[in-house]
Chains A and B, each alone.
Chain A
């Protein structure tokens, strides 16, 4: 396996995440897209640290990012849950009280 294969996978994952965030209107789906982007960066970190650099830094970062993503998801789901309890939906478009 060579480095560029990992990079292609990571870039593809990044694009999938980007596409999801841009096109989906459901807040939970958008969150999933964000997780894809974070994981794409994780693949990059691990691949680079394995192939390029002699120190383990990149792999440690990946662990940090995994934990951060979980914390972010916890907070996000709590917010979405309250929104669902108030409006009965988590579609992004229905939240439109704030404008101007």
Chain B
């Protein structure tokens, strides 16, 4: 048996490397304990505590910096890319928790376990984004998923919430099984689950020619495809997104997607170059299918939540275009787009949360008729987020798509880029439908009065809008950060 080289120094270095994760988990534990002590009317504090905890985690991540720190004998690494995704995920969690101040009051999620589950799920995402061992990635994936299953079904009396939770669970657990079996097969072929070690072994034809290894990579890819909802593994997405409490839907779209793409990017950028011809074909087809099916299904929707669910499928397809392109340019574009998508998505859901009054039927597009002029701020914000999702300048969505498709063209995937642009053109139709309805349709008599937002809620919306505009007008520094992050991974 090999000697176990664990000493106090290794322990300290490991704990230092997962500082943001520890802060988030510590906050979750504190929230659970405080939930026991606080009286019913003091539950608001739990939300404030969670927001403070996530803010502290962001600070600790910044304090760690972009330098490479390995922990737990290489199971987890805090590098530039880890930092980028950590910040993206934590920002999404922060905005979600800020919106929770209002949402929890209206929808009865003012409970300790709600915040604790969000925080625990966030910690899983961070582990997934920083895991350099397939097993760490798997554990992160499960730590992320299990609280999300609970959150989707959090409205215990609402049939649709439970139904969404059941469907999400069944397919999610199924995909976890695929994921794990894929890891097992890769372990069989390579004898290790470390991503960098597998990557360095990939130069050997005996490994990438090994059918067991290829089957393992295939199963792993299917598991990832379920999690980031690529067609044809997307069946759960619209149902889970529509059924879940809207705040959870927003969180899922922004943060879960970021974490899954972080791990996928690490695997693809490091191990795929050796088997590129075989794999890029697979990714090409997946990206093309996902964009097309997502966009054309979204055209048919009348429910805003469901429409945004299909739009999130389409956006996964756009991001996959960047992954297919690969290399530094592709990776940079993916990182930037994941960040931008988090803000656009959270912002759009935040506004429709305010306008819709009832959880099930309040999200019909007809419900938005006429609010544009009656409530100019809400109308303007929603229009901004939808325009950015459609990828129209001067918003961040345009810059993101420009870099994604640009990377595809540079890597020689012109056809895929053209398909992406055509798809974006189609998507303009359904993104502008609510905008047209808000400004052009005559307001009905009993026009719904939006909920009065709490100050933290308004701040979260304004911050998202500012980020979307700022990243659209001055994307240089964020793009440079993304590029350095990808370079730090490939070095």
Asked if the two chains touch in their complex, CB atoms less than 8 Å apart, one says: yes
Interface residue ranges, A against B (CB under 8 Å): 7, 10, 14, 17, 21, 27, 30-31, 33-34, 37-38, 40-41, 44-45, 48-49, 52-58, 61, 64-65, 68, 71-72, 75-76, 78-80, 82-83, 86-87, 92, 95-100
Residues A31 and B239 in contact, CB atoms below 8 Å apart: no
CA distance A37 to B139 in the complex (A): 16
Residues A41 and B163 in contact, CB atoms below 8 Å apart: no
* CB proximity of A82 to chain B, nearest CB, Å: 5
Residues A87 and B146 in contact, CB atoms below 8 Å apart: no
Nearest B residue to A84 via CB reads B162
Residues A53 and B192 in contact, CB atoms below 8 Å apart: yes
CA distance A7 to B153 in the complex (A): 37
Question: Of A27, A41, A53, A76, which is within 8 A of B180 by CB?
Answer: A41
In chain B, residues 152-169, which have Cβ atoms closer than 8 Å to a Cβ of chain A? 153, 156-157, 159-160, 162-167, 169
**A82 in contact with B181 given A27-B170, A31-B173, A100-B306 (CB within 8 Å):** no
Nearest A residue to B150 via CB reads A75
Question: Of B149, B159, B192, which is within 8 A of A79 by CB?
Answer: B149
**A76 in contact with B238 given A37-B178, A45-B187, A82-B153 (CB within 8 Å):** no
Nearest B residue to A61 via CB reads B135
Residues A95 and B167 in contact, CB atoms below 8 Å apart: yes
Does B188 count as interface, using CB distance less than 8 angstroms? yes
Residues B163 and A75 in contact, CB atoms below 8 Å apart: no
**A41 in contact with B184 given A72-B142, A80-B166 (CB within 8 Å):** yes
- The residues of A that contact B239 with a CB separation of less than 8 Å are 98-99
Residues B159 and A37 in contact, CB atoms below 8 Å apart: no
Residues A41 and B166 in contact, CB atoms below 8 Å apart: no
Question: Of B156, B169, B174, B177, which is within 8 A of A41 by CB?
Answer: B177
CA distance A49 to B193 in the complex (A): 11
Does B280 count as interface, using CB distance less than 8 angstroms? no
CA distance A91 to B300 in the complex (A): 28
Question: Of A14, A68, A79, A86, which is within 8 A of B142 by CB?
Answer: A68
Does B183 count as interface, using CB distance less than 8 angstroms? yes
- The residues of B that contact A52 with a CB separation of less than 8 Å are 188, 191
Question: Of A37, A41, A55, which is within 8 A of B183 by CB?
Answer: A41
- The residues of A that contact B188 with a CB separation of less than 8 Å are 7, 44, 48, 52
CA distance A36 to B162 in the complex (A): 24
Residues A100 and B238 in contact, CB atoms below 8 Å apart: yes
Does B242 count as interface, using CB distance less than 8 angstroms? yes
Residues B160 and A57 in contact, CB atoms below 8 Å apart: no
Residues B301 and A38 in contact, CB atoms below 8 Å apart: no
- The residues of A that contact B477 with a CB separation of less than 8 Å are none
Does B8 count as interface, using CB distance less than 8 angstroms? no
Interface residue ranges, B against A (CB under 8 Å): 1-2, 135, 139, 142, 146, 149-150, 153, 156-157, 159-160, 162-167, 169-170, 173-174, 176-178, 180-181, 183-185, 187-188, 191-193, 238-239, 242-243, 300-301, 303, 306
**A37 in contact with B160 given A44-B185, A52-B188, A52-B191 (CB within 8 Å):** no
Residues B170 and A98 in contact, CB atoms below 8 Å apart: no
Question: Of B177, B191, B243, which is within 8 A of A98 by CB?
Answer: B243
- The residues of B that contact A86 with a CB separation of less than 8 Å are 157, 159, 162
- The residues of B that contact A80 with a CB separation of less than 8 Å are 166
**A100 in contact with B303 given A37-B174, A72-B146, A79-B149 (CB within 8 Å):** yes
- The residues of A that contact B180 with a CB separation of less than 8 Å are 37-38, 41, 65
- The residues of B that contact A14 with a CB separation of less than 8 Å are 181
CA distance A44 to B215 in the complex (A): 14
11 additional A-B pairs beyond A45-B184, A72-B142, A98-B164, beta carbons within 8 Å, are A21-B174, A37-B174, A37-B178, A38-B176, A41-B181, A48-B187, A53-B191, A55-B2, A79-B150, A80-B166, A98-B239
CA distance A53 to B186 in the complex (A): 13
Question: Of A57, A71, A98, which is within 8 A of B193 by CB?
Answer: A57
* CB proximity of A78 to chain B, nearest CB, Å: 8
Nearest A residue to B301 via CB reads A100
23 chain-A/chain-B pairs, Cβ below 8 angstroms: A27-B170, A37-B174, A37-B178, A37-B180, A38-B176, A38-B177, A44-B181, A52-B191, A53-B191, A61-B135, A61-B193, A71-B146, A76-B169, A76-B173, A79-B166, A82-B153, A95-B163, A95-B166, A97-B160, A98-B163, A98-B167, A100-B301, A100-B306
**A64 in contact with B170 given A41-B184, A45-B187, A53-B191 (CB within 8 Å):** no
- The residues of A that contact B300 with a CB separation of less than 8 Å are 100
- The residues of A that contact B185 with a CB separation of less than 8 Å are 44
* CB proximity of B233 to chain A, nearest CB, Å: 14
- The residues of B that contact A54 with a CB separation of less than 8 Å are 2
* CB proximity of A22 to chain B, nearest CB, Å: 10
- The residues of B that contact A53 with a CB separation of less than 8 Å are 187, 191-192
Sort A-B residue pairs by CB-CB distance and give the 8 closest, nearest first. A37-B177, A44-B184, A95-B163, A98-B239, A41-B180, A41-B184, A41-B181, A34-B173
* CB proximity of B13 to chain A, nearest CB, Å: 20
- The residues of B that contact A58 with a CB separation of less than 8 Å are 187
* CB proximity of A56 to chain B, nearest CB, Å: 8
Residues A83 and B162 in contact, CB atoms below 8 Å apart: yes
Residues A92 and B170 in contact, CB atoms below 8 Å apart: yes
* CB proximity of B21 to chain A, nearest CB, Å: 17
CA distance A94 to B491 in the complex (A): 52
CA distance A57 to B73 in the complex (A): 12
Residues A98 and B166 in contact, CB atoms below 8 Å apart: no
